[in-house]
Each structure stands twice: as structure tokens, then as C-alpha cells.
A and B are shown apart, each in its own frame.
Chain A
């Protein structure tokens, strides 16, 4: 089936199978490998991308569901001026290690911030509970998120 969507600000038209996952479409079809595959059951958040600004687990979201929508991956986010704030915060706190979960966390934090849902410690913790990081123990990521949100711990 033919779909037309916007990916990182550019219009893309493609012929996809009905069962093609958005994750595979992005990674294999468009070469955007920033979104990662891990749990495949919508638990870990490494495959998170934003669809119309909201976080989506692209491992369990069909490519054709994104037809007519705007998809933002970490590659696109990195081109936006606001990315600098995120990069500084993650660097300041060394909030990444192996880096496999990092794109998912960045996009989740961005969507929460845009939706005004990073206003308190509780909101931050609740909002990030759908992203797993096995390396950092989360504390540094929380600190980075607080900096991005302008919330003190």
C-alpha cells in the first residue's frame, strides 16, 4: 500500500506491506537507524519515535498508521535548535552509557516537555517509566531531564 508521510520534515512516499512495522520502515526503508530494536513488546522504549509529536513504540506500530502524519526520529530531532539544550544536559550528567536507549529517552523527554508534562519530579518519573536503561541506573537521566525541564530535584 502507498503511504505519504513526513519524516524529519521531509515528505516521503513509499509502497509498504500492510504488516510493515514503522521501526522496520524507518531502519530498513529509510536508513534511519537511531530508533533501536530490543524488547519488541512495547516495554523498553528503545524504538520510540514521535508521531504528530506524541511518543510511539515503533516496534508495535504499523508504518501505514503513520500515513499522513509527521514522524520525528532522533536524526531529525538532532537538527532542531532545541536539541542543544538536551545535548548539554545529557553531557553534563553523563546521562548515557552504551547509548542504545538514548534516542528513545531524548524523544520521550522532548514529547513530555512539549506537552507540558515535565513540571514536577513525579511527572518526570512517571513520564520516563516506559523507557528502560540497563546501564545508567536512571539517576543521571533524571538529572538531565530535570535540567531540560527546569525543575530542581
Chain B
């Protein structure tokens, strides 16, 4: 609750600060401080201090899971601001507004993470999506950015339609919007709730860019300014996943026999398309777009399994994935050439940046000692715990091996090929990145640092 209200206020503040303040430095400082404040008050709320006591009439529920996820989001966004806020200047002149939009997105994320009523879910998803359409198209003079924005908007509107339709059907079947009050006939659910559930499933799959609803993703991620791609591909995607999990846990948990196979099929297709297509990319940015599809496939395993391990795991996974990808994108945004060749010889020019980027890629590939490994580990464990699904797990593992192929291409380019890849970075950027990498490794060795908060 704290975060929701304060971030809405901060959004408005940023909006005006963009108009009133001419110096971008101050705007940036306000944004970073604002995000830090959000993180602090969220942690305060975890430990029991809430500043606002507004009765939500059971439409929202700020439980441990939601609050912890908020912390992950806020921390990631804070890191993202510190690393990439400067690059936003390159995008356009409406500097303050970009921050404002991101603060609004954070509002949406809080809604999605803590919804009880399906209406709040819808509201949250829309609050996330609409600023994103704008951010995607924020590079106004660039044709690709415009195209991406339009494509995203059209497809997004379509999936929103599906979602509303699904919610309506569910309401028709159960007579309530409240996810935990829904009761479905256990034996053979009628066509109405099943159809509604499927529509919701498809629209959520669209939002997390799971195959076969992923076609917008590469174009949008590629077309959008790199700084915003970073935000979109990590934090936003993670947030929608949390909504996904909550929805299928609370609302449809009782008839999982109906949807589990669907999810399994979507997972397998997503893993396959994401990983295999990523292998053939020439641009690192596009490769990351497909890799984000592939990672979504792994996160879908949590939806598939839907047990305690899955819930712990998805928190770890989102943290690992967000932090590593933000790090990579932050470096990418500073580079002039997005192809694999663009990374050639980086280890010689910038040994530290190359090392840190390697750590992030290792984490994405799921190599032990990084957070990415434990995240994948939890996912596999959860999926195995769900029982009778060994083929999905083995398939996921094989696809993880494929992912090594394209992640390591970047590492190879940086270390073993000759070239002149240079990035202009400040020492501050370097050290922030180093701290980020340290967090990634720390979570890979002691996941309890994060998961501790889930229980206590």
C-alpha cells in the first residue's frame, strides 16, 4: 500500500519536475531518491509499518509474497535508474516524463502483484501497458521505434480484449470477481469457466511473451530504445509473471487438471522457439529479446508446477533474471554496435566491464555459483515435485544447454576475438555494475538471503 500511493504521487512529481526543472541532473537525482524511498517504505511495510490504512474491500491483499516481490522490483528499478538513467537523455527531450511513466508502471506492478479482484488485475495490467506503449515509441524520429510502438499497441489492445472477455466469462460462471472466493464444480467444469480461464491464460501468455503469442516481442524489444527495452524485458515481464502465478494459484488452483497440460504445452513451445531462434540472431539486442522469451519459458515452469518451491523459485528467478539482464542491457546501451562482432575484443579494452558482463551471462545461462543457476534449479525442482512431468523437465534442461550456445557467443567475442569494442563508462557505473554482479553471485551462494524474507 505504501508503495502504491507514494509511487503514484512521485509519478506526478516527476511529471512536473520535467516541466519546471531545466537541469536533467536534478531530475535524475529526484527519480533515484524517489525510488530509494519507495524501496525503504516497502521494506518498512514488510516489517509491519504501514503509513496508509485504506480499506480496499478485499480487492487487494498485500501479503508476504507481493511485498517481497515489490522489493525485488523496486531494487531492480533502483539499480536500473542508477545504471541507465543517464542514457535516457539520448532518447528524447521529455526527460522527466520518462521517469513519470516508469513510476506509473511501478504503480501498475504493485496492483498486479497484490490483486485479489480480477478487476484490479486488469487495471494493473493496463496501467503497466499504456505507459509502455508510450515508452516504446518515445524515440519519435525513429521509424523502427514508431513501428514497434504501434505493433505493441495493437497486439496489446487485442490481448486486453481477450482478458476482459475472460474475466466476464469467469464472472458469469462464478458470480464474483474475487479470486479466492471463486468456486468451480470440481468434477467436470462447464464450458463457461473453462473458456474464461483459457482466454485469461492466452492473454497472460501474451503479456509474458510466451509462444505462440510471442510474435510482437522481438520487434518491440528491438525497436524500442535500448534503455526502455531493458525495463520492459525484465521488471515488467517479471511483474506480469507474478500476476500470472497469483491468478492461477488463487482463482484456478482448484481445477488445475484443466490447465496444467495447456501450460505444459505452452512452456515447451516457448522454450523451443525462444532458444532455437536466439541461436540464429546476429544482433545481441535481438538475441536478448529471444532469450527473454526463453527465460519466460523457464518461469512458466513455476506456473506449471504451482507449489511452494515454485513460489519461492519464481521470486528468486525474477530477481536473478532482472538483475542480470539489467546489467547486460546497461552495458549494451553504452555500445555503438549491437552485433556480436561489436563485442569483439572487449576484454582487452575494458577488462572489468567484460568480466562483469560475463558474470551476468553466466547467470542467465544458469551456471552454478550465480543466482541464475539456483533459480533454474528451483524451477526444475518445482516441476519435478509437481509429478509426472519428467519430459517437460528434461526438455527444459536440454534447452538450457542450447541457451549456453548463444550466451557464450558473446563471452567468446569479448575474450577470444580481436577487435576494438569500447564503451565509455564512468568509474561510478563500473562500481555499480560490480555491486550488481556481487549481488548476483551472493544470491547464487546464499539464496536464503532473499527467501528468508518470504517466511519471516
Chain B associates with chain A: no
- Identify the B interface with A (CB < 8 A): none
- Identify the A interface with B (CB < 8 A): none
